[in-house]
Amino acid sequence: MTHKKVIVIGGGISGIKTALDLYNGGVQDTLVLEARDRLGGRLLSIQSTNSNDKRIKYDLGASWFHDALNNPLFERSIEKGNVDYYYDDGKCIYFSKDEKDISTWRFSATLDEFMAYSQFVYKQNPSKPDISLKELSEEYVQKYKDRLTQDQIKYGLASVRMWAELWQGESWDKLSAKYCFGGDHLGRNVYVKNGYVTVFNNELDELPQSYRENNIKLNTHVTTIDYTSSKYIEITTSRNEKYTCDYVVSTIPQSLLTINDLNDPCYIKWIPSLPRHISSIMPSVKFSSLGKVVLEFDSTFWPTDVERFYCITDGVPSSSSDSKSIKPWQYPTILINYHKLAGTSTLVALTQNPLSAYIEGLLGGDKDTKIWEIFQPLLQNISSLTNIPAPKRIYHTPWNNDKYARGSYSTTLVGCDDPSEVVNAFVEGIEDRVRFAGSETVDGSANGCAHGGWFSGEREANFILNMIRKERVASKL
Ligand SMILES: Cc1cc2nc3c(=O)[nH]c(=O)nc-3n(C[C@H](O)[C@H](O)[C@H](O)COP(=O)(O)OP(=O)(O)OC[C@H]3O[C@@H](n4cnc5c(N)ncnc54)[C@H](O)[C@@H]3O)c2cc1C
């Protein structure tokens, strides 16, 4: 049986950063076990088929550096010089079914005030029960309707819904009003044009080639983590291979750690079972589903100088549980204009549940037609053409049905514990030798983000390097 000092489970950004920092810290006897046949996890770039420029890619996972003032991945990309980045905070247009261009002065003050209200009411009264974001917005309107214009009520709340749903990837009638807008952001967002895979590879390539060839195993799905013995931890894979190690770092997405159906292929057997401080917070671990739909056209029929089109609805709640009766205009959407970004006739639409689940679940030959039925009326409203053409190709995200993701990233639904408690439980780990990294194990604005994963890998590598230093000191005494 192969014994390693450290085994890292998962070859996404968190796992690779853990392995890299351990390597650079002098611990090279490590192994990364990755279930998929590729590295990168929720970082997944596909080539644009609408441009001769091979650098143009679409990201089905992360595409922005968030928190540009405190994002090491962004800083390292600038140093490397091989990432095409773009501050996409230029011209934007809000539109709805009835209006093609809604001036922001008509409602933006309400958007800001409502965000402040959602923080303020829970700070002022921490025992106020958690309600959905939709309910809190109704409460706000009820309280202040005499001080708000009709536009502020209508468009302000529709924009609250849009921002919340397309940041969190979930319907606003499910999102926790208490925690939805938590985690202050540290700076602007920066779009990656040539694929987040470039950012990922910049980290990966810092590991020597021999390490990448010999110490990273693809198609290696961990099924059992046995820490019964005080001398070693035993890891078993789906092919019944066994490894032992002194430390294990699990970067398995938390969505998979909540699985308790023994027949699910991604169920992880913990021996002994997970301790109470972790199992007790599992009901608060929720993954949402931010989705993306890439629409490639022959020509550009929308304004080329606009970076983003914000489609807002009239605030009618989406019927969250019913992803079968999806209709256009039911869900807010953000459309990213690749013409402005990269000179191609492509729009990328962001979606949230239940729309993401609907699109990702479509099967059969009429799939593209059904997707186009949702977006055609919206895109008609951003064009001056009488009849817009259908896209020639459509791509979309896979995450709901991807067995190693089960959604996009963490979210907070009504009634969840404080997200910091979930983070703390995982950061505590087990017996100082079973450790957890992953973008959902960091607190604050980096939670659920690629740079959060990077921070978590740095943290866990440091933890283990410290433990090993202590072991060495103790053995000399
Ligand atoms: C649609 C979408 C949009 C996003 N947008 C942004 C954005 O703009 N900016 C941003 O910063 N972040 C964004 N994110 C989040 C970002 O992609 C993730 O936070 C980050 O990639 C997670 O990295 P990770 O290493 O923690 O997890 P993962 O990338 O999920 O890596 C975990 C790895 O573990 C593997 N694994 C799982 N189970 C097992 C097992 N049993 N055995 C072995 N291996 C296993 C998986 O295959 C995977 O490779 C987005 C995510 C999605 C899905």
Read off the pLDDT band of 324 (50, 70, 90): low
Would you say the CB of residue 450 lies under 6 angstroms from ligand 1? Answer: yes
Looking at the domain assignment, is residue 79 inside a domain?
no
pLDDT at 182: 76
Would you say the CB of residue 404 lies under 6 angstroms from ligand 1? Answer: yes
Query: Are 415 and 391 in a shared domain?
Result: no
Task: Say which range, 274-288, 323-337, 363-377, 452-466, has the weakest mean pLDDT.
Answer: 323-337
Number of domains the chain is built from: 2
Distance 42 CA to ligand 1 centre (A): 3
Would you say the CB of residue 64 lies under 6 angstroms from ligand 1? Answer: yes
Query: Are 158 and 306 in a shared domain?
Result: yes
Proportion of the chain above pLDDT 90, given as a percent: 94
pLDDT at 141: 95
Would you say the CB of residue 410 lies under 6 angstroms from ligand 1? Answer: no
Would you say the CB of residue 253 lies under 6 angstroms from ligand 1? Answer: yes
pLDDT at position 319 over 70? no
Looking at the domain assignment, is residue 33 inside a domain?
yes
pLDDT at 476: 85
CATH at residue 299: 3.90.660.10
Query: Are 306 and 178 in a shared domain?
Result: yes
Query: Are 176 and 136 in a shared domain?
Result: yes
Query: Are 103 and 251 in a shared domain?
Result: no
Atom 5 of ligand 1: nearest residue by CA position: 62
Query: Are 280 and 249 in a shared domain?
Result: yes
pLDDT at 335: 98
Render pLDDT for 153-179 as a digit per residue (tens, 0 to 9): 999 999 999 999 999 999 999 999 999
Compute the distance between CA of residue 225 and CA of residue 122 in angstroms, rounded to an integer. 40
Looking at the domain assignment, is residue 322 inside a domain?
yes
Range of the domain at 453: 2-42+196-285+411-476
Looking at the domain assignment, is residue 337 inside a domain?
yes
Looking at the domain assignment, is residue 406 inside a domain?
no
Read off the pLDDT band of 323 (50, 70, 90): low
Would you say the CB of residue 13 lies under 6 angstroms from ligand 1? Answer: yes
pLDDT at 181: 85
User: What number does the ligand 1 atom closest to the CA of 64 have?
Assistant: 8
Would you say the CB of residue 382 lies under 6 angstroms from ligand 1? Answer: no
Would you say the CB of residue 41 lies under 6 angstroms from ligand 1? Answer: yes
Render pLDDT for 382-391 as a digit per residue (tens, 0 to 9): 999 999 999 9
Query: Are 343 and 269 in a shared domain?
Result: no
Phi then psi for residue 47, to 5 deg, are -70, 135
Q: What is the mean pLDDT of the chain?
A: 95
Distance 477 CA to ligand 1 centre (A): 42
